[in-house]
Amino acid sequence: VRYRDWRWQALWWHHFFLLWNTIDGQTRYTIPEELKQGSVVGPLAKDLGLGLSEIFDRKLRVASEAGKQYFSVDTGKGELVVNERIDREELCGQRASCVLPLQAVLESPLQLHRIEVEIRDINDNAPIFPSNHLYLKIAESAAVGTRLLLESALDPDVGSNSLKSYTLGKNECFSLKLKEIEGGKTVPELFLEKLLDREQKAVHNILLTALDGGNPVRSGISEITISVLDINDNIPVFEKNVYRVTLPENSAKGTVIIQPKATDMDEGLNGEIEFSFESRTPDTVLNIFDINSLTGEIILKGDLDYETNALYGIDITAKDKGTPEMEGHCRVQVDVIDVNDNAPEIVLNSPPSPVRENAPNGSVVALISARDLDSGDNGKVSLQLPKSSPFSLTPSFSNNYALVTRGALDRENFSVYNIEITATDEGSPPLKSTKTIPVSITDVNDNTPIFSQPSYTVYIKENGIAGSILYSVSASDLDLGDNAKLSYSILDSKVQDVSVSSYVYINSENGSIYSMHSFDYEKLKVFQIQVQAKDHGSPSLSSNATVHVFILDQNDNAPSVIYPSSAVHGSLSQQRTSRSSKAGHLVTKVTAVDADSGHNAWISYRLAEATDASLFAVNLYTGEVRTKRAVSEQDDSSQRLLIEIKDDGDPVRSTTVTVSVLLEDGLHEPILDLRHKTDDSHKKTGRMALYLILSLASVSVLSLVTFLILAVKCLKSSRSSGSCCMRRSDSEDYKNPNRNLQLQLNTDGPIKYVEVLGGDMMSQSQSFRSCLSPTSEYSDFTFVKPSSTTDFKDMINVLDASLPDSTWTFESQQVSIKPGQYTTY
Ligand SMILES: *[C@@H]1O[C@H](CO)[C@@H](O)[C@H](O)[C@H]1NC(C)=O
Ligand SMILES: *[C@@H]1O[C@H](CO)[C@@H](O)[C@H](O)[C@H]1NC(C)=O
Ligand SMILES: *[C@@H]1O[C@H](CO)[C@@H](O)[C@H](O)[C@H]1NC(C)=O
Ligand SMILES: *[C@@H]1O[C@H](CO)[C@@H](O)[C@H](O)[C@H]1NC(C)=O
């Protein structure tokens, strides 16, 4: 453009000097550019002083020195008009004034007039930016005051219509500054007013407007896009500073506990986060937890145990990949929740000590404690004992207990208690454990020795060998050791005024009782020994038992003849009898006694030899010698009879007596000898008879009373049983000492021998009966026999009617007798 301007100017100056000679006046017009074709520029003809006819005649025309003919002359009116659009900017560019020189040419005569047309600028151009969209980049870290050069706008118009100012669209960070460059020109610049933050606004779009000074104002717009370049200026940030997780201690491996989230506002690598544990994380955490570096998930990889570690603090780092890298932190707090995974434990703090069986309530046996590794309710332990246990637990301080006795102990029942203690915690479900504590009970001498029987009954034959074993008693003691070790002894008592220890002794070790004597039934029939068994405890305990020794009769005595008394001396005893005696006449009566008893004393008489066996007969039982027939004159006056007297023992013992009988004429008092003898004894007999009567009377009364009591008892008990038994406790009468009566009678009376036993004798285990034959032949024969050795069933008889009172008549109903029990007939 400049080049063109310059050429155009040169040309113009050449024409100007050429024309200057021919032109006398100068005409100048001013028009705005861009007029329409035909627009009148000025009255050229008039200004040249030409009339209308001259215009045509002289052929007025204009010629442009430039190539283009922008103007022409209207031949009708002689006005200069615009021939072509005129663009000032094209013609004159940025020059301040734009004048087009013209020549008005007149012919005949040739006349040249110089005409100037000044083209005035109008604001027909808007400012224009070289590019309407400008892309810029700026670092996020750019400091305040940073400038960014922008493009200048161009406006071809000149003067006031040219570019005048710029305005910047509204924004926070930038302002517009103009920078002057050479030649007084200015360039717009962006000025950073405030720090940028990509994370807040990554792209700034601003409109730059260029304005000219025309009226109306024209503008040009350029859009500026500024991209803020990221700087790693943001640390990764966790959503929370502290994450809390509760985790049951039995959580499975592989469980994802938590995923802490972190964000980094930067972009690209600056915003890429990698998770890790803090570098100083202890092994206790590393062994149990793992972290996913990409996602940040924390994973359980080990076993949790509330009891070893209930709380974990895990420091997590989130790191971006920028340069320099930036990191953020958070803490994950893992609270392990207790699960009832530990059974309670019972601990024996002191070994159980043996307890005496008489230990009072509350004696301490052992100290125990309970513990549970769990916590809270899971660790609360309670202990239980079986309800029946004679022990209890006394709590002392925190979970410590004393095992104490609570009830009576008995070593004889349980020598060892296995105390089962159950511990239960309060978890859900509760866990249990048991422990058995053996507690041994030590013996206390609390059991007396006990004899195998409360009393013993021993039968021994008389005439035994001294030093032989009478009996062996035995006692037992439930205690242990010395408390059960027994010694036997015999308690001193008198037997027939002699100390019992002179009769027997006892083996203190085993209770065997030895006789020190040979016993004679005829002297001692029964005696009692009190034996004592004593243990070796301290204090010792003892118990007593009674041994009843019954001496059994042996047939060791031959019958001895009492009458005729001379027979004792072996001399002949003379009996006289009258020749006039009839058959059956009592000649004499042989009386013998046997010191033995029972069968051994059951005497029978037999005529062994006789001068005339046909004349006399001896009664087998009474010993009466009677005539068999009437004595005749032919009978020898001196008769000799040999009478054998036998007892019923085994072996039989016998004795003989020789009786000589003198047959005399007219003898009326045949037994003078006897009378004389009986005279003497009559007084005795009288007294004896009186005693006997009194005794019998008293016995009878007693018997009657007894009988009545029995009768009442029998009536009462007959409904339930057929037997009529009377026990010792029922019969007070038998304790009556009056019953301890023994009578022996030797008379011609109906009773020859009566033995009445009672009182203490009767209270022995043996009962005795008095049996009297019902027939007259047996009436004066009495025997006494221990009932247990003989079956008396057949021999039970009724007392002879000759007794003053027959109340002794009882019916036998039961024969077997137990010790300590009576049977009354
Ligand atoms: C011991 O304790 C038990 C149970 O508490 C009770 O029945 C018994 O009477 C007590 N004995 C003594 C001697 O206190
Ligand atoms: C021992 O056992 C007997 C019989 O079984 C019983 O009667 C007694 O009460 C028991 N004693 C103790 C202390 O358990
Ligand atoms: C007791 O001891 C004596 C002597 O050692 C012996 O002869 C006797 O047979 C024993 N008695 C018992 C019941 O063992
Ligand atoms: C045993 O008998 C003796 C002597 O009679 C007496 O002192 C003692 O108390 C009795 N013992 C028993 C347990 O009855």
Q: How far is ligand 4, taken at its centre, from the CA of residue 544, in Å?
A: 6
Between CA 91 and CA 65 the distance in angstroms is 13
pLDDT band at 743 (very low <50, low <70, confident <90, very high): very low
Retrieve residue 54's tokens: 């001259």
Give the single-character DSSP code of 599: G
CATH architecture classification, 560-667: Sandwich (2.60)
> Please, is 813 exposed, middle or buried when counting C-beta atoms within 10 Å of its C-beta (0-12, 13-18, 19+)?
middle
* The residue to which tokens 């040309």 are assigned: 11
Strands 111-120 and 99-106: antiparallel
Retrieve residue 48's tokens: 């040249």
Between CA 787 and CA 348 the distance in angstroms is 69
Topology of the domain covering 133-229: Immunoglobulin-like (2.60.40)
CATH superfamily of 2-120: Cadherins (2.60.40.60)
E-state strands within 462-603: 469-472, 475-476, 486-491, 494-495, 498-499, 504-506, 512-515, 526-535, 542-552, 560-563, 573-578, 586-589, 591-593
In this prediction, residue 633 carries a pLDDT of: 83
Please name the residue whose Cα sits nearest to atom 5 of ligand 2: 413
Between CA 586 and CA 465 the distance in angstroms is 47
Element (H, E) at 452: none
In this prediction, residue 130 carries a pLDDT of: 92
Strands 391-395 and 381-384: unpaired
Retrieve residue 470's tokens: 């009478």
pTM score, whole prediction:
0.50
DSSP result, 643-660:
EEEE-SSSS--EEEEEEE
Q: Is 361 in the pocket of ligand 1 (CB under 6 A)?
A: yes
Which ligand places an atom closest to the C-alpha of 509?
A: 3
What value does the mean pLDDT of the chain take? 79
Helix (H, G, I), strand (E, B) or coil at 194: coil
pLDDT band at 185 (very low <50, low <70, confident <90, very high): confident
DSSP result, 290-355:
EE-TTT--EEE-S---TTT-SEEEEEEEEEE-SSS--EEEEEEEEEEEP-S-S--EEEESSPPPPE
Tens-digit pLDDT profile for residues 513-556: 999 988 998 888 999 999 999 999 989 999 999 999 999 988 88
- Asked if 133-229 and 238-337 have one fold, the answer is yes
pLDDT above 70 covers a percentage of the chain that reads 78
Sheet architecture: strand order including 79-82 = 40-42, 79-82, 71-74
Lowest mean pLDDT across 225-229, 346-350, 411-415, 761-765 = 761-765
Selection from 494, 489, 495 nearest residue 473 by Cα: 489
Please name the residue whose Cα sits nearest to atom 10 of ligand 4: 544
Q: How far is ligand 3, taken at its centre, from the CA of residue 429, in Å?
A: 67
Domain boundaries, the chain: 2-120, 133-229, 238-337, 345-442, 450-541, 560-667, 682-813
**Furthest CA-CA distance within the chain:** 270
In this prediction, residue 226 carries a pLDDT of: 93
Lowest mean pLDDT across 191-195, 208-212, 585-589, 766-770 = 766-770
Retrieve residue 345's tokens: 């434990």
Q: Count, in order, helices (H) and strands (E) of the chain.
A: 7, 55
In this prediction, residue 731 carries a pLDDT of: 37
Tens-digit pLDDT profile for residues 478-516: 998 999 999 999 999 988 889 998 999 999 999 999 999
* The residue to which tokens 């070796």 are assigned: 536
Q: How far is ligand 4, taken at its centre, from the CA of residue 749, in Å?
A: 49
Q: Does domain 450-541 have CATH number 2.60.40.60?
A: yes
Tens-digit pLDDT profile for residues 634-665: 888 888 889 999 998 888 999 988 888 888 88
The DSSP bridge partners found for residue 195 are: none
Q: Is 200 in the pocket of ligand 1 (CB under 6 A)?
A: no
In this prediction, residue 752 carries a pLDDT of: 38
Residue 443 in this model has a pLDDT that exceeds 70:
yes
Q: How far is ligand 1, taken at its centre, from the CA of residue 400, in Å?
A: 23
Q: Is 362 in the pocket of ligand 1 (CB under 6 A)?
A: no
Tens-digit pLDDT profile for residues 73-110: 888 888 889 988 888 888 888 888 888 888 888 888 88
Q: How far is ligand 3, taken at its centre, from the CA of residue 509, in Å?
A: 8
Residue 764 in this model has a pLDDT that exceeds 60:
no
The DSSP bridge partners found for residue 626 are: 586, 617
Q: Is 446 in the pocket of ligand 2 (CB under 6 A)?
A: no
Tens-digit pLDDT profile for residues 38-58: 899 888 888 888 888 888 888
Helix (H, G, I), strand (E, B) or coil at 90: helix
pLDDT band at 401 (very low <50, low <70, confident <90, very high): very high
Topology of the domain covering 345-442: Immunoglobulin-like (2.60.40)
Please name the residue whose Cα sits nearest to atom 9 of ligand 1: 407
Side chain identity, residue 137 = K
Measured from the Cα of 512, ligand 3's closest atom is: 11
Residue 180 in this model has a pLDDT that exceeds 70:
yes
Give the single-character DSSP code of 143: P
Cβ burial 268-278 (10 Å sphere, 16+ → b, else e): eebbbbbbebb
Q: Is 472 in the pocket of ligand 3 (CB under 6 A)?
A: yes
The CATH code that applies to domain 238-337 is 2.60.40.60
Cα torsion through 405, 406, 408, 409, rounded to 10? -30
Q: Is 25 in the pocket of ligand 1 (CB under 6 A)?
A: no
Q: How far is ligand 2, taken at its centre, from the CA of residue 411, in Å?
A: 10
Residues 6 or more apart in contact with residue 310 via CB below 8 angstroms:
335, 336, 338, 375
